[in-house]
Amino acid sequence: MTDIRYLEDLKSFKIDVAHISYVMGIVDKEGFLGHAYFGKHIADDDVSYLMRVFEPPFTPERNERDRLSFYDCFPFEYPTHGIGDFRESAVRIETGSGNYANSLTFKSHRIYDGKEGIQGLPATWGNAADTKTLEITLEDREAGIEAILYYSVFEGIDAVVRHTKIVNKSGKTVYLTKAASASLDMDNRDFDKITLFGSWARERHINRTAVNYGIQGMCSRRGEPGHQEHAFTCLMEKNAGQNNGEVYGIDLVYSGNFRTLTERSQFDQVRLMTGIDPEDFRWELKDGASFETPEAVLVFSAEGLGGMSRTFHDLYREHLIRGYYRDKKRPILINNWEATYFDFNAEKLVNIADCASKLGIEMLVLDDGWFGNRFDDNRALGDWYVNEKKLEGGLKKLAEEVNRRGMKLGLWFEPEMISPDSDLYRAHPDWAVHVQGRRPGLARNQMVLDFTREDVTDYVYSLIKKVLESANIEYVKWDMNRPLSDIGSACLPAERMGEFHHRYVMGVYKLQERLVTDFPKLLLENCSGGGARFDAGMLYYGPQIWCSDDTDAVERLEIQEGTALIYPLSAMGAHVSDCPNHAVGRTTPFETRGHVALSGTFGYELDVTRISEEDRKLIPHQVELYHRFNDLVRTGDYYRIASFSENHAFDCWESVAKDGSEALVTCVNVRKTANVKSRRIKLFGLQENASYRLLNEDGSDFVQTMSEEGKTLYFHGSTLMNAGINIPDTWGDFRSRLIHVKQA
């Protein structure tokens, strides 16, 4: 049931969808919009008492002398700055006169089927049959400002997506210095919170801490989310875990500077807020102009973290990701980066393709180094024309050779960058982001192109388009290898420089939109020095994102666990690479690397002509596993069974078909524990009364009991889910196994 109602007599809004309710109320006479409830579905409409409006001493109309006490504890749905709510505000507007106090009260609302897009930004989408939207307009009559709050819900999904539009009707120019996408006040809750932290080659590790008093948050000022922090935060009851307890997840559909924070107040109220990071943000709003924030996604789960993850996965798969490959199995690719780095020529690439095609690999991706004078990573970014010294006959010839071997060809770009040593920089030094008169800091010897400028993005796109039209290129890896610094644009006036970061991200979005519109069957994989831009915004343009430059099977367990907390496995770029691993020097079995990568998009990142014969021989089997299981992995429900990051020994997860008819369980024994014979695991998502067979990846029975030889063993779903099965411990570290659970 999806229902959005305005209850005139109660002056409240109630949103019901799937298993959740979201309730807001308008304070009588005063007109403030307050948050009453978000959580598991509730049957009653009249729950405004939860806002505590009538409890003395806080009722403002009855206690004018303590109006500020009211402001400082009322659960404002979109808190403003400067009037006496001393917690973090969602919006801050500077008027021409230098004031910045605002007060927003209810003006009107609108409820309709479907959902509109957000101008220039990625957002979830839905149609009139499965999506409903509520718009609430708040106004500050004195200041002439409106804030329109948008809420959309999708049939069957325990989530509410929100964003905000600020409209200037003041008759003069104002400056927006803060505009959160969403703010959520919860009452008397002693929560833990999970955030994701990391570094290059170590992205999205899980960090669980208490929500303490005061403000705590994650933010990025790098111009992209970055390897280090992530816009996602979840709040969970103290006793909540993987499969139990109440959990609130919030994520932002955005690829730029963000800030997501929690604030626990003196009254144990918790404010959760997300949006563009205000630090470098200042947006000019002329009279009549408006500003739309990125979209925030709010998920509630009464089934612990797992329930939250599955809701995010469904929402992103069904209402965010678009395009030709959205529901399709992706071609198994082989990428030449770790195979050759910059040391390649056409012959080497064709040899790799030749060997790979015979093993069942379906696409060759030519990574960095095919253009301009790019013999190393010190030069040529921006010179997007083929280096024929390396690629004799150009990309057309390479594509023909690759296609002749039954494979597709993919190509790497880093469109946002410019090397000081490039033809582009020599022609247009002002196209690089820089502060006039100051020498900008380099990273990987490169600078960033000013993507706030349309002449710059038009030029870059014209080159990319020409390359893509010159040969049969069916995949693009869009990379981005440095954060933004020394912010300055030759085209933005001083008073609008605070718009730079957001305009930059919108420039990236605009170009990606052009790309996927002009090449609708192109498979776009986003990437940023590994996984520095793995966010919901990028998923709107391409269905998959390179997860990390660290392809070590052990490090990947933690990275992929953190990533899968929010993003579907269908989006996680994961490859088998050579050992010792190039990022950490660890050697793991080829089988284990395969098993871990099979839970992502799957591919190879090695020189297949040079690995050991023993490893090479395993590739056709891995390819077959991919074809056997990818539908399940891509479309199924994800359950985390054991976490190596918590127990430091054993990792295990499961992908289950939506109808419970089959499951794939991946177990990785990372660290052999002495004298452990087997580990008990319980499965999830099966049908209680159905009978299942457990199979090893070679099709033989995964035997649990002594049985008559040749007699197949069946277990009921109830047994597998409640009693569980034993996974024999392995001899040695880094050993893994797949178990296929199949309904008889």
Active-site residue numbers? 479, 549
Find the residue with minimal CB distance to ligand DGJ. 368
What is the rounded distance in angstroms from the CA atom of residue 239 to the CA atom of residue 583? 36
Q: Residues in contact with ligand DGJ, total (CB under 6 A)?
A: 12
- Rounded to the nearest whole angstrom, what is the least distance from the CB of residue 531 to ligand DGJ in the complex? 8
| H/E stretch holding 583 | none
Measured from the CB atom, the residue of 549 and 637 that comes closer to ligand DGJ is 549
Measured from the CB atom, the residue of 80 and 446 that comes closer to ligand DGJ is 446
CA dihedral 287, 289, 294, 296 (to 10 degrees): 70
| Among the listed residues 303, 368, 607, 662, the single contact to ligand DGJ using CB under 6 A | 368
What is the rounded distance in angstroms from the CA atom of residue 90 to the CA atom of residue 273? 8
Measured from the CB atom, the residue of 138 and 333 that comes closer to ligand DGJ is 333
Measured from the CB atom, the residue of 112 and 200 that comes closer to ligand DGJ is 200
Q: Which stretch binds ligand DGJ (CB under 6 A): 79-87, 140-148, 526-534, 683-691?
A: 526-534
- Rounded to the nearest whole angstrom, what is the least distance from the CB of residue 388 to ligand DGJ in the complex? 20
User: Per CB under 6 A, which of residues 371..390 are in contact with ligand DGJ?
Assistant: 377
| Among the listed residues 76, 325, 337, 461, the single contact to ligand DGJ using CB under 6 A | 337
> Of the candidates 150, 83, 93, 156, which has an alpha carbon nearest to the alpha carbon of residue 118?
150
**530 touches ligand DGJ (CB under 6 A):** yes
- Rounded to the nearest whole angstrom, what is the least distance from the CB of residue 152 to ligand DGJ in the complex? 34
Q: Which stretch binds ligand DGJ (CB under 6 A): 309-317, 524-532, 577-585, 713-721?
A: 524-532
Contact 103, 79 (CB under 8 A): no
* 103-to-175, 416, 581 alpha-carbon distances in Å: 16, 40, 56
**Residue 459 neighbours by CB under 8 Å, 6+ apart:** none
- Rounded to the nearest whole angstrom, what is the least distance from the CB of residue 369 to ligand DGJ in the complex? 8
DSSP 51: G
Measured from the CB atom, the residue of 37 and 413 that comes closer to ligand DGJ is 413
Measured from the CB atom, the residue of 377 and 400 that comes closer to ligand DGJ is 377
Neighbours of 365 (CB within 10 A): 25
DSSP 76: B
**152 touches ligand DGJ (CB under 6 A):** no
- Rounded to the nearest whole angstrom, what is the least distance from the CB of residue 444 to ligand DGJ in the complex? 8
**412 touches ligand DGJ (CB under 6 A):** yes
* 90-to-21, 134, 251, 277, 570 alpha-carbon distances in Å: 23, 19, 16, 11, 34
| Among the listed residues 245, 275, 529, 542, the single contact to ligand DGJ using CB under 6 A | 529
**122 touches ligand DGJ (CB under 6 A):** no
User: Per CB under 6 A, which of residues 233..292 are in contact with ligand DGJ?
Assistant: none
**367 touches ligand DGJ (CB under 6 A):** yes
DSSP 79: -
Measured from the CB atom, the residue of 179 and 424 that comes closer to ligand DGJ is 424
- Rounded to the nearest whole angstrom, what is the least distance from the CB of residue 252 to ligand DGJ in the complex? 22
- Rounded to the nearest whole angstrom, what is the least distance from the CB of residue 228 to ligand DGJ in the complex? 16
| H/E stretch holding 662 | strand 662-669
From residue 476 to residue 505, the character string flagging contacts with ligand DGJ as x (rule: CB under 6 A) and all else as - is ---x-x------------------------
- Cα 457 → chain centroid: 25
From residue 563 to residue 602, the character string flagging contacts with ligand DGJ as x (rule: CB under 6 A) and all else as - is ----------------------------------------
Q: Which stretch binds ligand DGJ (CB under 6 A): 74-82, 223-231, 467-475, 523-531?
A: 523-531
What is the rounded distance in angstroms from the CA atom of residue 552 to the CA atom of residue 254? 28
Residues in the chain: 744
- Rounded to the nearest whole angstrom, what is the least distance from the CB of residue 618 to ligand DGJ in the complex? 23
Measured from the CB atom, the residue of 103 and 548 that comes closer to ligand DGJ is 548
* 86-to-77, 214, 267, 360, 603 alpha-carbon distances in Å: 15, 11, 13, 62, 51
Q: Look at the block and give the residue holding tokens 């198994």.
A: 332
Measured from the CB atom, the residue of 185 and 550 that comes closer to ligand DGJ is 550
What is the rounded distance in angstroms from the CA atom of residue 544 to the CA atom of residue 19? 29
Neighbours of 455 (CB within 10 A): 11
Neighbours of 23 (CB within 10 A): 25
Question: Which residues in 677-692 are b (16+ Cβ under 10 Å) and which e?
Answer: eebebebbbbeeebeb
Which residues make up the interface to ligand DGJ (CB under 6 A)? 337, 367-368, 377, 412, 479, 481, 527, 529-530, 546, 549
